[in-house]
Structure 1
Amino acid sequence: MTPTPPDDSRGSIAAACADEPIAVPGAIQPHGALLAVTEPALAVVIASANAAEVLGDDARELAALLDPDDLDRLRAGLAGDLAELNPLRVSVGGRDLDLVVSRADGLLLTEWEPVAGAEQAGAAWHRRLPAVLQRLSATTSLDELTAVLARDVRELTGFDRVMVYRFDAEWNGEVIAEDRRADLEPFLGLRYPASDIPAQARALYATNWLRLIPDATYRAVPLQPATHPATGRPLDLSGAVLRSVSPVHLEYLAAMGVVSSMSVSLIDGGRLWGLIACHHTSGPRRPSYADRVAAEFLGRTASLLLHTTVETAERGDVVGVAQRQAALVAALGRSPRRPAAALTEGPVTLLDLLPAGGAAVRLDGRLHLLGSTPPAERVLELVPALLATGQPATDALGRVVLSAADVADTASGLLAVEVGGAPGDFLAWFRPETLRQVTWGGNPHEPKLVEGASGPRLSPRRSFAAWVETVRGTAQPWRDHEVAAASALAAHLTESALHRAREDDRLAAVLQRTLLLEELPPVPGVALAARYRPSAADVVGGDWYDLVPLPSGRISIVLGDVAGHGLAAASITAQLRHALRAHLLRDRGPAAALGSLGELIAALLPGELATAVVAELDPATGEVAVASAGHPPVLLDTADGVRLLRDGRGPALGLQEHAEYAEARVRLTGADRLLFYSDGLVERRDVPLTDRLDALRAAAGSAGAGPDALLDAVLAALDPPDTDDVTLVGLGRT
C-alpha cells in the first residue's frame, strides 16, 4: 500500500516548513540565559527575559556581573579562537556557570548555563576516553562502528535511548544502530520520512554539531527587545546553544513520549550523513557541558571513520568490478576494430561488469542486447530519456521517465553512459523491480497540516507505531563505484573510437592518394588538367578520378564519388576504381562499363552507393562518348556557348541491380573543352542547385583558353564550401 497526500497538501507542507523561523525564533530555552553585547565595550543590547533570574540584578552590566579576573579572562579569550575559550567557567553571585560565547549580527552572544543541575558522567568515564576511541577506530564495518557509537554515547550521557540515524539520497532517515533501556520498544530498522527533519533544520545540523533539549515541556523565554536595535530584524540564533526549537518539533517529541533529547551530527565529506539521536523518556535530562563536548568529540571521530569504514566494507565488490573492467579493456585491446564483439561475445561480457539483469551496448549505431532487457525499440527510447535528465543512474526509472512504468519487471533500475563516436552510442545496464517492505515509524503520508484556531498550522504525526509499506517500481540502488566503473569503460571506448578514427583517417588518406593521380599522363593531341581540394575537416571522402588508355587507342576519363567518408569510403572507392578499369579495358564503351560495374556492386557490395561519369575520347577525331551514373552533368564549352550534357545519364550505382545506361556523343573541335566535377563544387545547402549550375556555366564562359584556365576560373567563381571534397578534371584538344 502506498497512500500519498494530495499534491496541494504536499506543497502546503513544504511551504509551511520553509517559512518556519527556526534560525530566528526570538527565544531561548530556560535552562540558561543569553546576553547579546557589543564589542569591545561589552554593553548589553539584547537579553533573555530570565537573565535577572539566572544571573541576578546585575545582568544588564557585564562589567558588574563578572569579577575582574573572569572579565580579564573573557577579554583575553575574545582575541583568539572562541572554540578554545568555550566554555569559560565563571562564578556569578556565588553560583558556578559555564559561559559560552559566539558572534552573530555584529554582536557577541554570551550564553550562561548553571553548572548545578547538570548530570555528569564523572572523571572515571573521561579517563576511559582513549579506550573508547580505540574501540571506535578498531571497528571494521558500518554496523559495528555505529553499534559501538550508540553504546558509548549512551554510557556517557545516560539517555534512555541512543540511536544512530542515517539519511538516504532523498533525506529519509533510518535507524541503523540503537542502545536502549530494556523496557523500551525497539526502533532499530524503522525509517522516518524526510519531512520529519525539513531542509532548513538539516542545514543547521550541518553547521552545529550538537543540539540539546533538556526538557521538551519547557516554555520558551523571549528575547528583549524582540528585534536587533541596529537591524530591526530578529537576532540570528542559528549558532546559539540555548536556541529555542520549533514548536512542531516539541510536539513531535511529545507524540513519541520523549521528555529530553540531544543530537550529535555525523558529517562525511562536508555533507550531513546522519545523526546520533538521544532520547530520554523518564524525565528531563541535561548532560554537563563537558559530557556534551565528549559526545560531540565521539561524533566527530565517527564522522572521520565513516568513509573508510564504508569503503572497507565495499572493497570486495569494488575489486571484483575493477577486475572485470580490466578484463573488458583487455578484450577491447585484442579486438580494437570489433569493440561490440569484445563486449558481448567474450568470457567476460558487458553484463558481467555490474550486478544487473540485462545490458545493452550501442556502438556505431548498432544495438546489442544481453540478458533480460526491455525490447530493442524501448531501450532506444528509455536510455536517451534518462541521459537527457542529466543523471546516469536511477533505481526507480518509472519516476524519472514516466513512460517506463510498463517495463518495471526488467528495467526498474537503469544505469546508462554515453560513448563518444557515432551519435547516440551508449552502454546501459538494467535491474528488475525488487519488491521490498519498508517499516516506517508511523505513517509517513499522514498530513502534517492541521486546522488551528487561527488557520492551518504544521503538526507532527500523532502515531509512531510501526507502519509497513510495500514499495514497488524500485530496484537495487546503483553504488558509486558501479557508476564510476561504467563511466570509465565508456571513456575508454570513446578514446579507442577517437584513436581508431584518427588511424582510419590516416590509412584512408594514404589509400586515397593512390586513387588520385599525382599527375595526368601525357596524351598526344589531348590537353588535360585536374584539381583536388580535400575538405577542411580533414575527413577523407570518396572522390576519385582516372585516365585509362584503351586497346583501341581511345582514352577513358573517369570521375567518381562514393557515398560516405573515411576508411570505409576509401576502401570502396579503391575497389570500384579497379573494377571499372577492368570493364573499360574490354573496350565496349562507357555505358556497358557502368552497367557491368552496377552489377558488381549489387552482387558483392550490396548497400553501397556511388556516382560516376565516364567519357571515352578518340584523340584522332575528337569524338567523345559520355555516360553518367547519377553524376552531375558534364559541362561542354564550345565556340557556340556553354551547355550541360544531360543526355546519357542513368541511375546512381547501387540503386538498381540491372540498370542500363545510354551515351551522349559530341565532337570536340578547336578550343572546345569538357569539364567533369564532383558534387562538392555545386552543392550548397543555402543555394538552389539550379543557381549554382548557372554560375558554373557563366564562369566557364568567361574563362581563358585551355583546361587549366577553365578549372581555375570555375573554382574562383563558385568558391565551393570546404565541407566536402571537390574534384575537377578538364579535357580539350591541342
Structure 2
Amino acid sequence: MGGVLDPVTRLAVLEAITDGALRELELEQVFDVLLPRVRELFAVDTATVLLTDAGGRQLVARAASGLEAEVFQGVRVPVGVGFAGRVAQQRKPVRIDRVDESTVVNPLLWTRGLRVLLGVPMVTQGDLVGVLHVGRTAPREFDDEEVVLLQLVADRLAMAAHAHRSRVERTAAAMLQDSLLPETLPATAEWHLAARYVPGAHSPVGGDWYDVFRLPGDRLGLVIGDVAGSGLAAAIVMGRLRSALRAYALEFTDPAEVLGRLDRKASHFEGYAMATIAYGVIDTPAHRLELALAGHPPPVLAVPDGRSVLVDAPVGPPVGYGLAVTGRRSVGVDLPPGALVALYTDGLVERRDVDLDMRLERLRAVTRAEPPETACVRIMAALVGDTPAADDVALLAVRRAMTAT
C-alpha cells in the first residue's frame, strides 16, 4: 500500500519547515527539531542526514532519529556508491524496496531491519550539501507526493547546513589567517619593519600573507604571497605554503632555490593550488637583498635622495602546477643607509577599469625612504584611501637605518 499523506499531514509538514523559529536555531538544534517530526509525519522508523565532507567526495552521517548509531559510528558513504551515494551523485530522489548489501553500503541499515528507503538530495545554490533519507521496517511504498514533501524538508535542511558551514568556514579561516600572520616583526637596531593586511571587500578572508623571520648567518627572510581563491580553502593552502617555505629557507640560501622547491611541493601535494610569491633574504652584514619573484609584482625600492624604483627582477611563473620547469632566478639589490623596500600583493595596485601601470606608477611615486610605519600609512592612504579594495591587500615595508646604533 502507498503512504498517501492526508491534507492535515501535508499542512503539518509545510508548517514544520516554514516555522520562523528555526531561523534562530543552530544547525544541530534544527536537526533535533525536524528529524523527529519527519519520522512522525511520514510514519517512518528512521530519518538520517548525511552531509558532504570538505572535498565533496564522501557523505558523513551528521544527524539521525531512530538510527543514531550512524552518527555515533561516523558512517561514511562515497558519493556514487550505494543508496545514499547514488542519491548524491544523481541529485534526484531514489526509492528502494530491498535493503541489503546489494543496495546499501552501510550494514547498520539492514541490521536495523529496514525494508524500504527513500532518499532525496540536499542542494542549495547549485551545491550538493548532503542527503536526507528515511526508512521503515515494514513494507510500504513512498508515493510521488511524499517524495515532493520530503524534498521540501531536504531543501530547508540544506539551507540551514549551507549557512552553518559558511559561518564556520569564515570563522575558521579568519582564525587560521590571524594565527599565521606574525604577531611581531623581528626588527633590529639597524632594520625596521611595518606591515598591513586588509581582507578584500567581497571576502572576509583570502590567501594573502606576509612573513618575516630570522635565518642563520645574520640573515632576514621576507615573504609576501597571494594564493588564488578565497575563504578557508585558500587560507589552508596559504598556511601550508608558509610553513614549507620557512622549512626550505633553513636549508637553501638562494631565494630562487627556495621557490623552486616550494613549487615542486605545491605542484605535487596541493592539487590545483596556485600562488604568487615574492621571497627575499637580507644579508644584514652585507646590506644586500637577494630577491626571487614567482609571478609576483616587483617591490619598490626608495633611497634617501628621493629616488624610488620598481626593482628590476626576473618574474618567474607562479608557484603550483609545475610551471617553473626551466628553473628560477634571483637578483641582488644593494640597500644603502636609509633605503626602504616595500613588498605588496596585487590587491594594493589592481582596480577594475584602472590601468595597472598607472597604479604601479602611483605606488612608486608615493613610496619614500622614511620610517616603515610612516611609509605604510602613506602608501595605504594613496592606494586604498576611503574605497575598499575588492581583493586582499598585504603590504610589508623594511628599512635600513641611516646609521647603525
Fold shared per TM-score above 0.5: yes
After superposition, the Cα gap between the structure-2 partners of 1:352 and 1:664, relative to the gap in structure 1 and judged at 3 Å, is closer
Matches of 2:44 and 2:352 in 1, distance apart?
A: 48
* Residue of structure 1 equivalent to 2:222: 557
- How big is the shift at 1:665? 1.5
Over the aligned positions, Cα root-mean-square deviation in angstroms equals: 4.0
- How big is the shift at 1:573? 1.3
After superposition, the Cα gap between the structure-2 partners of 1:320 and 1:641, relative to the gap in structure 1 and judged at 3 Å, is same
- How big is the shift at 1:488? 1.3
Three-state SS of the structure 2 residue aligned to 1:419 is strand
Q: Does 1:341 align with 2:59?
A: yes
2:254 maps to which of 589, 602, 609: 589
After superposition, the Cα gap between the structure-2 partners of 1:575 and 1:424, relative to the gap in structure 1 and judged at 3 Å, is closer
Matches of 2:266 and 2:170 in 1, distance apart?
A: 24
Consecutive unaligned residues in structure 1, runs of 5 or more: 1-140, 142-305, 312-317, 373-414, 430-475
Q: Does 1:652 align with 2:356?
A: no
Matches of 1:666 and 1:369 in 2, distance apart?
A: 61
* Residue of structure 2 equivalent to 1:663: 330
Consecutive unaligned residues in structure 2, runs of 5 or more: 12-37, 62-74, 96-118, 133-141
Q: Does 1:620 align with 2:340?
A: no
Three-state SS of the structure 1 residue aligned to 2:292 is strand
Matches of 1:726 and 1:582 in 2, distance apart?
A: 25
Identical positions, percent: 32
Measured against aligned partners, the alpha-carbon deviations of 1:402-442 in whole angstroms (never above 9, x if no partner) come to xxxxxxxxxxxxx9988335x4558999xxxxxxxxxxxxx
After superposition, the Cα gap between the structure-2 partners of 1:499 and 1:324, relative to the gap in structure 1 and judged at 3 Å, is farther
Asked if 2 retains the 8 angstrom alpha-carbon contact of 1:542 and 1:563, the reply is yes
Matches of 2:77 and 2:200 in 1, distance apart?
A: 39
Q: Does 1:327 align with 2:31?
A: no
Asked if 2 retains the 8 angstrom alpha-carbon contact of 1:547 and 1:557, the reply is yes
* Residue of structure 2 equivalent to 1:394: none
Matches of 1:361 and 1:325 in 2, distance apart?
A: 22
2:157 maps to which of 485, 489, 492: 492
Three-state SS of the structure 2 residue aligned to 1:577 is helix
TM alignment of 1:679-690, pairs within 5 A: 679-690=346-357
Asked if 1 retains the 8 angstrom alpha-carbon contact of 2:300 and 2:310, the reply is yes
After superposition, the Cα gap between the structure-2 partners of 1:600 and 1:319, relative to the gap in structure 1 and judged at 3 Å, is closer
- How big is the shift at 1:653? 0.3
- How big is the shift at 1:616? 1.0
* Residue of structure 2 equivalent to 1:516: 181
After superposition, the Cα gap between the structure-2 partners of 1:360 and 1:633, relative to the gap in structure 1 and judged at 3 Å, is farther
- How big is the shift at 1:637? 1.5
Asked if 2 retains the 8 angstrom alpha-carbon contact of 1:610 and 1:654, the reply is yes
After superposition, the Cα gap between the structure-2 partners of 1:551 and 1:577, relative to the gap in structure 1 and judged at 3 Å, is same
- How big is the shift at 1:645? 2.1
Matches of 2:286 and 2:247 in 1, distance apart?
A: 25
Matches of 1:620 and 1:310 in 2, distance apart?
A: 79
Three-state SS of the structure 2 residue aligned to 1:563 is strand
After superposition, the Cα gap between the structure-2 partners of 1:704 and 1:553, relative to the gap in structure 1 and judged at 3 Å, is closer
Measured against aligned partners, the alpha-carbon deviations of 1:357-398 in whole angstroms (never above 9, x if no partner) come to x96547xxxx768979xxxxxxxxxxxxxxxxxxxxxxxxxx
1:672 maps to which of 315, 321, 339: 339
2:209 maps to which of 534, 544, 557: 544
TM alignment of 1:333-372, pairs within 5 A: 341-342=59-60, 346=77, 361=88
- How big is the shift at 1:338? 6.1
Q: One-letter code of the match for 1:664?
A: V
How many residues align structurally? 322
After superposition, the Cα gap between the structure-2 partners of 1:666 and 1:485, relative to the gap in structure 1 and judged at 3 Å, is same
1:709 maps to which of 367, 370, 374: 374
Asked if 2 retains the 8 angstrom alpha-carbon contact of 1:684 and 1:721, the reply is no
User: Which structure has the greater CA radius of gyration?
Assistant: 1
Q: One-letter code of the match for 1:643?
A: V
Asked if 2 retains the 8 angstrom alpha-carbon contact of 1:324 and 1:352, the reply is no
2:299 maps to which of 634, 638, 660: 634
Q: One-letter code of the match for 2:340?
A: R
- How big is the shift at 1:725? 1.9
TM alignment of 1:210-609, pairs within 5 A: 307=7, 322=42, 327-329=47-49, 331-332=50-51, 341-342=59-60, 346=77, 361=88, 419-420=123-124, 423=126, 425=128, 478-479=144-145, 481-537=146-202, 539-609=204-274
Q: One-letter code of the match for 1:531?
A: R
After superposition, the Cα gap between the structure-2 partners of 1:324 and 1:498, relative to the gap in structure 1 and judged at 3 Å, is farther
Asked if 1 retains the 8 angstrom alpha-carbon contact of 2:196 and 2:396, the reply is yes
Matches of 1:558 and 1:621 in 2, distance apart?
A: 20
Q: One-letter code of the match for 1:671?
A: G
